Amino acid sequence: MTSYIDPGEDMRRRWLPTNRAVRHARILLAAEPAADVAVIPMYQPGKQHGIWLTGQTVLTVPGVVFIATNSFTVAGIIPGASWARDAACDLARDRLRADGRGGTVAYAIVRPSSVVVFEDFGDLP
């Protein structure tokens, strides 16, 4: 018997940071009033850009969350979101290289009431 797996549902379930990572991000946001977003680095070994295959592995970099302002400028010592995004993608690329299978990187933007994931289309060297 063949069962059908909806690729959209599979992506929605898999392409989110872990619940632990989201809780960690929200705790950090609550502790720093100048920050209004948290950025979680993620990577997908073996994935091609823009293509989702059911069962795709998605990993977060354990314990790493960058807090930032939802701005291109810093707020005191809190960096802007573009810096946090770039730092998250650089770290995820390092993990992906260590994995040795190639793939893509992504980052999650966490706010107190939402989580959104973006695939980074920067080149992997």
Look up the pTM and report it: 0.86
Query: Under 8 Å CB-to-CB from 108, ≥6 apart: which residues?
Result: 16, 17, 21, 22, 25, 39, 40, 42, 60, 115, 116, 117, 118
Measured distance CA(50)–CA(56) in Å, rounded: 12
Measured distance CA(121)–CA(37) in Å, rounded: 21
Strand-strand pairing, 59-60 and 66-68: unpaired
pLDDT in tens, the chain (125 residues): 567 777 778 777 778 898 999 999 999 999 999 999 999 999 999 888 887 778 888 999 999 999 999 876 666 788 889 999 999 999 999 999 998 888 999 999 999 999 999 999 865 44
The SS3 call for residue 80 is: strand
